[in-house]
Amino acid sequence: MSPDRRRPARGGRAGTSPAGSPAVDDFAGRVLDVADAIPPGRVMSYGDIAEYLGEGGPRQVGRVMALWGGGVAWWRVIHADGSLLAGHEVAALARYREEGTPMRRGADGTPTRVDMRRARWTDAR
């Protein structure tokens, strides 16, 4: 398990990890497991993951990804409109190119967002 996915030690408190950051709770662990399962070239929105789990909502999934998503394929969990994560556009675009993720292009031909109609992974359901 990567350091970004710290779980409390047996008998330890679920509220903190040894490094002082919040520990991964059960919901967060399930979010990260779903993110890990998304195949290359496919994506799920924050809301898709919440709906699949039957718990939480897009904001809760986003919080999990913000805290611990660095240990999983974070670029595969995106906004429902396919827009790129602010501040991570260059890194995400590089991953999308590597994986062949379907993209929507602007008038100048540059990728502007993920094509959710074609890239959304629904096989998790």
What confidence score (pLDDT) does residue 13 get?
33
State which residues form the domain around 83.
Answer: 3-119
Q: Is residue 43 part of a domain?
A: yes
Read off the pLDDT of residues 5-28 as tens digits, 9 standing for 90 and up: 443 333 333 444 545 556 678 999
Q: Is the pTM of this model over 0.75?
A: yes
Is 124 domain-assigned? no
Give the model confidence (pLDDT) of 68-115 as tens digits.
Answer: 999 999 999 999 999 998 899 999 999 999 999 999 999 999 999 999
Are 84 and 92 in contact by the 8 Å Cβ rule? The answer is yes
Residue 10 in domain? yes
77, 10 contact by CB (below 8 A)? no
CATH assignment at residue 113: 1.10.10.10
Q: Which residue, chain included where needed, has tokens 């993920």?
A: 114
